[in-house]
Amino acid sequence: MTGQPALLDLRAVSKHFTRKPDFAERLAIRLGAPEPPVVRAVEDVSLEVAEGQAVGLVGESGCGKSTLGRIVAGVHARTSGQLWYRGREDRAFTAEEARRTQIEIQMIFQDPMNSLNPRMRVADIIGEAPVVHGLFPSRERVQRVGALMREVGLDPAYARRFPHQFSGGQRQRIGIARALAVEPRFLVCDESVAALDVSIQAQVLNLFMDLRERRGLTYLFISHDLGVVRHLTDRVAIMYLGRLVEDGPTREIFAGPNHPYTRALLAGAPRIGRGRQTFTALKGELPSPINPPPGCPFHTRCPHVFARCRSEMPRLRPVASGRLSACHLNDQA
């Protein structure tokens, strides 16, 4: 990590989802019934992202990676913890700072069919937000939208079309152009290439790399696809059951993962060129985030589990320069 303050700094962020009890349930709780269950989607996550960095956030379904991304993009409010952006805590933001941060952090979703309004023309989808925010006057709209469409590899002649008239890859490009329209500095990409075919996925990944170079963007790239993350990011953070278990430079983690879960993830992913593989699969499944196991969240599936893992939560601690891992095994060596 660099000496300058991080662009984004999450400090012990947690997000719990609960259901508000209705009247009868409140009554029942008064009479001694248990409270409705709490889903601990994100638990005590600290993560720094430096300006210009591309950070990957990896984990399996239900690990909280999308929830964390949504907290960063301001879609979800966090339950506890702090979010610092450009060296300021968001609770201390002035109204102008809050507005600017909202615009600077943009999100690109997985399924462009569900994130684009099917009744709006592409020109309006891309051109609405910047005009509302006063980034350019509406008379320049046609020309600006055209430039944005060209930048993401779409023909400006299609500006009057609706989203359903485009293919999946083109729709994803519309979503990217919409995000770029407000001149963001930070893109949160939530499984943004997961729904695309391999040949189209490669085109969109190349576009992400070009944009990073051209616009100096910072990325939080959320994905379950290790190949994509390895290709695109400088640093990677691995989540398991709402917690970060490992964090470090992408190249180093892929070359030598520290945490047993990271090791299992890397070993379990089929990769081209490995030939016929026999999988020595990780046993068991992800425990529920409603009742996370005591101690290390991974101890129920870990091949190296020992007594301490069942009772004591391992802290995320430095294991090498720039590398963090949360595993008791590191104390034993």
Partner 1 sequence: MTALLEVTGLKTHFLTRAGAVRAVDGVDLTLRAGEVLGLVGESGSGKSVTSFSILGLVDPPGKVVGGSVRFKGEDLIQASPERLRQLRGRDIAMIFQDPMLTLTPVLRIETQMVETVLAHERTSYAGARERALDMLARVGIPAPQERIRAYPHQFSGGMRQRVAIAIAMLHGPSLILADEPTTALDVTIQGQVLSEMQRLVAETGTAMIWVSHDLAVVEAIADRIIVMYAGRVVEEGPVAEVIARPGHPYTRGLLDSTPSAATPGGRLRQIPGMAPSVLNLPPGCPFAPRCAHVRPECSTPPPVRRLGPERTVRCFAPLIPEVGQ
**Given candidates 22, 155, 183, 197, which one binds partner 1 under the rule CB under 8 A?**
197
**CA neighbours closer than 13 Å in the CB half-sphere of residue 136:** 16
CB of 278 to partner 1, least distance (A): 6
Task: Report the residue number, 196 or 329, with the smaller CB distance to partner 1.
Answer: 196
Min. distance of Cβ 199 from partner 1 in angstroms?
A: 4
- CB under 8 A: which stretch of 117-125, 154-162, 172-180, 228-236 binds partner 1? 228-236
Tell me the three state secondary structure of residue 279: coil
Look up residue 130 and give its two tokens: 């910047």
The angle that helices 122-132 and 141-151 make with each other, rounded to 10 degrees, is 110
User: How far, in Å, CA of 296 to CA of 317, rounded?
Assistant: 14
Task: Check residue 280 for interaction with partner 1 (CB under 8 A).
Answer: yes
Contact call for residue 202 and partner 1 (CB under 8 A): yes
* Min CB(187)–partner 1 separation in Å: 17
Residues 240-269 binding partner 1 (CB under 8 A) are 250-251, 254, 264-265, 267-269
Nearest distance from C-beta of residue 24 to partner 1, angstroms:
25
Q: Token pair for residue 223? A: 């994905």
| Smallest distance, partner 1 to C-beta of residue 138, A | 33
* Residue showing tokens 């994130």: 115
Binding mask 88-127 for partner 1 (x = CB under 8 A): ----------------------------------------
Q: Which stretch binds partner 1 (CB under 8 A): 11-19, 91-99, 133-141, 218-226?
A: 218-226
Rule CB under 8 A: say whether 22 interacts with partner 1: no
Structure tokens at 265: 């993830």
Secondary structure percentages of the chain, helix, strand, coil, to 5? 40, 20, 40
Q: Per CB under 8 A, does 277 bind partner 1?
A: yes
Radius of gyration of the chain (CA): 22
The DSSP call for residue 312 is S
Q: Closer CB to partner 1, residue 277 or residue 311?
A: 277
Residues 40-79 interacting with partner 1 (rule: CB under 8 A): 60-61
Q: What angle (nearest 5°) sits at the alpha carbon of residue 242, between those of residues 264 and 234? A: 60
Show contacts of 314-317: CB within 8 Å, 24+ apart.
316/46, 316/244, 316/245, 316/247
Q: Which of 103, 105, 129 is nearest to 116 (CA)?
A: 129
Which residues are at the interface with partner 1 (CB under 8 A)?
Answer: 60-61, 167-169, 197-203, 205-206, 209, 224-228, 230-232, 250-251, 254, 264-265, 267-282, 285-286
